[in-house]
Amino acid sequence: METAEFIHILDREGLLLASAAEQAGPDTKVPTCPDWQVRDLLKHTGTVHRWAAAFVAEGRSDRVPFPDRPDLDGGELLAWFREGHRLLVAALGSADPGLQCFQFLPAPSPLAFWARRQAHETAVHRFDAEAASGGTPEELGRDFAADGIDELLRGFHARPKSRVRTEEPRVLRVRASDTDGAVWTVRLTREPPAAEYGDAGDADCEVSGPAARLYLALWNRLPFPRVTGDVSVAGLWREKSAVG
């Protein structure tokens, strides 16, 4: 997918998130994030948006802490979220393709990284907001969802901080049933998961289903559409894969 596509998706997903949050109201529990109310969802995502926008707009090369969450609520909080989302979309849309700044996952360029990462960040939390509002969530595009699976498996969980580890080596297969070539083999050991494309040998467990549902399941937003083989391997993912 191209950077411009990710920016377009980020724009749409942020608008949908704000609309669902407004409909739900700030006190509403977020069923997909049990410790959160809608206000927490807005503060978290809005803070991430401003954090990301600063790297892009200012060309920051060093990692900086997240800014403090705002002491706002109700309509003021919603307006703050919408402003931060607009700032991020504008920063990405106007950035020089040769931008050099901090990034924390492999990508062709820092601009490509931030557009992709923020599109997926916002899409997952848009689903959270729509779950809170009680509506039927908008369907994610299958190519975008397959890309998000790849970012999660070969990006986030390749990092040393991943907790998906096991004393006994196991192999998890992840298969998006509606997307050609969207298959990953994930080797689980005492080290961070090692994921590669394709059916690379036998697997102890396979999780499969449409890319959009599988994407949200791997982010622990939905049950796995289908699990075959040793279900304890899928359970290990459920237990250990939360990204902080």
- Mean pLDDT value of segment 215-219: 98
pLDDT in tens, 22-58: 999 999 999 999 999 999 999 999 999 999 999 999 9
* pLDDT number for residue 136: 84
Average pLDDT of the residues of the chain: 96
121 three-class SS: helix
Which tokens hold the place of 199? 């059916």
* pLDDT number for residue 39: 98
The rounded distance, in Å, linking the Cα atoms of 213 and 139 is: 9
What pTM value is reported for the model? Answer: 0.96
pLDDT in tens, 66-103: 999 999 999 999 999 999 999 999 999 999 999 999 99
* pLDDT number for residue 200: 85
The rounded distance, in Å, linking the Cα atoms of 126 and 170 is: 33
The rounded distance, in Å, linking the Cα atoms of 220 and 157 is: 14
* pLDDT number for residue 135: 80
The rounded distance, in Å, linking the Cα atoms of 13 and 140 is: 10
pLDDT in tens, 129-158: 999 999 888 889 999 999 999 999 999 999
Torsion of CA 100, 101, 104, 109, to 10 degrees: -20
Residue ranges and CATH numbers for the domains of the chain are: 3-133 (1.20.120), 162-240 (3.30.1050.10)
* pLDDT number for residue 138: 86
User: Which CA distances in Å does 36 have to 40, 148, 152, 185?
Assistant: 6, 23, 22, 33
For residue 172, pLDDT over 80 is answered with: yes
